[in-house]
Amino acid sequence: MIDLHVHSTFSDGSLTPADLAQAGESAGLTAMALTDHDTVSGVEPFLEACRARAAAGGRAVRGLAGVEINANVSCGALHMLGYGMNPRHPGLTAALERIRRGRLERNMEIAAKLRGLGVAVTLEDASAFAGGEVVGRPHFALALQAKGYVRSVKEAFDRFLANGKPAYADRFRFSAEDSIRVILDAGGVPALAHPFTLTLDREALKRYVGELCDMGLQGIEVYYTEHSPGQTEEYLGLARVFNLLATGGSDYHGAAAPDIRLGNGFGNLTVPDDLLDGILRRLAERPPGAHVSHGSVKYAR
């Protein structure tokens, strides 16, 4: 069992990269990819933790470098996963820093809107719930809950933080094409995450995936916690039509989304182990620099 879509405290997850490595071992995973939002700062600690646990005689959980970049599109939400990039690639680190500056600008606007609503939740309050350098709306939601303004993270989004709600603010995003290029230039494999978040019907989605392929897209997330059986079949069909790598994962965040379990989502997710083989074969074709932790060995391709 593998999970190629997990988050740590470096973005909006509740487990550190080292804790994720341990949790993956306990869950019986054979491979995991750390795909934090807009940062790769947790990747090297994660790969090192996978290596160290294997060297200490633990279950060999293969760690894979990853990232999740939110792109700017007009048809819903597009998240681009990247696998196997060099986390120190200058172009990648510069692009992610630009995205994080946009997050800071957005967060300051959210804090100002909350203040205008008479809600005493500051950017510092939200930052206290962030374990890393990425502060996002989920952290504001936790601060709202902690201060008693809402009873749950969901209520915080429904009342204040979701698009169209009074404290919502947009932020800087790269285009889909630039997001793909950043990942490719860093030696990685770009894959479209959870395609259902694009507000497109079946035919429009097929056309758009074709356009993304022309931009360099190499994979599509077929197996995902919230995909229905019909969606899984549809996206597997798109992978076949466009010769894309099928990927999959739980989108695990830990305590921030307690119903989603590492490896099997709501309980019925199964990501085939052999999907990783396709990604690793594709990485072997990429320029040198993509980092993978395989058992007790960390190596660069």
Q: Does residue 298 surpass a pLDDT of 80?
A: no
pLDDT band at 288 (very low <50, low <70, confident <90, very high): low
Alpha helices in the chain (DSSP H): 17-26, 43-55, 90-116, 123-127, 137-146, 153-156, 176-185, 202-215, 229-241, 275-284
pLDDT number for residue 255? 85
CA distance 206 to 202: 6
pTM value?
0.87
Confidence (pLDDT) at 59: 76
Among residues 180, 248, 182, which one has the least CA distance to residue 214? 180
For 93-134, the pLDDT digits (tens) are 999 999 999 989 999 999 999 999 999 999 999 999 887 678
Sequence ranges of the domains in the chain:
2-95+172-300
Cβ–Cβ < 8 Å for 198, 76: yes
- Give which of 78, 98, 81, 70 is closest to 34, Cα–Cα: 81
Does 267 or 289 have the greater pLDDT score? Answer: 267
Residue range 152-165, pLDDT digits in tens: 999 999 999 999 99
For 40: left if phi > 0, alpha if psi spans -120 to 50, otherwise beta; the answer is alpha
Whole-number pLDDT of residue 57: 79
Reduced 3-state DSSP string for 161-178: HCCCCCCCCCCCCEEHHH
For domain 2-95+172-300, give the fold: TIM Barrel (3.20.20)
Per-residue model confidence (pLDDT) at position 269: 97
On the question of pLDDT at 281 being above 70, the answer is yes
pLDDT band at 257 (very low <50, low <70, confident <90, very high): confident
pLDDT at residue 299 tops 60: no
Q: For tokens 């209520």, name the residue.
A: 155
Is residue 289's pLDDT more than 70? no
Q: What is the pLDDT of residue 130?
A: 84
pLDDT in tens, 153-208: 999 999 999 999 999 999 999 999 999 999 999 999 999 999 999 999 999 999 99
Question: What is the per-residue pLDDT for 294?
Answer: 36
Instruction: Give the span between the Cα atoms of 127 and 249, in whole angstroms.
Output: 27
The structure tokens listed for 21 are: 């490595």
Predicted local confidence at residue 287, as pLDDT: 55
Rounded CA separation 65/137 (Å)? 24
Q: Quote the pLDDT of residue 292.
A: 44
Tell me the mean pLDDT in the region 52-78: 90
How far does the chain reach from its first CA to its final CA, in angstroms? 24
Q: Please state, in angstroms and as integers, the Cα–Cα distance from residue 9 to each residue in 4, 35, 71, 89, 214, following that order.
A: 17, 11, 21, 22, 34
Q: Which long-range contacts (CB under 8 A, 24 or more apart) does 141-144 make?
A: 142/256, 144/119
| CB-CB contact of 121 with 140 (8 Å) | yes
Output the pLDDT for position 240: 98
Of the candidates 234, 283, 276, the residue with the CA atom closest to the CA atom of residue 32? 276
Q: Are 114 and 121 in contact (CB under 8 A)?
A: yes
How do residues 143-152 score in pLDDT, each as one tens digit?
999 999 999 9
Residues near 66 by Cβ (< 8 Å), separated by ≥ 6? 4, 5, 33, 34, 35, 36, 43, 81, 82, 83, 84, 85
Mean pLDDT of all residues in the chain? 92
pLDDT of residue 131: 72
**Cα distance between residue 94 and residue 105, in whole Å:** 17
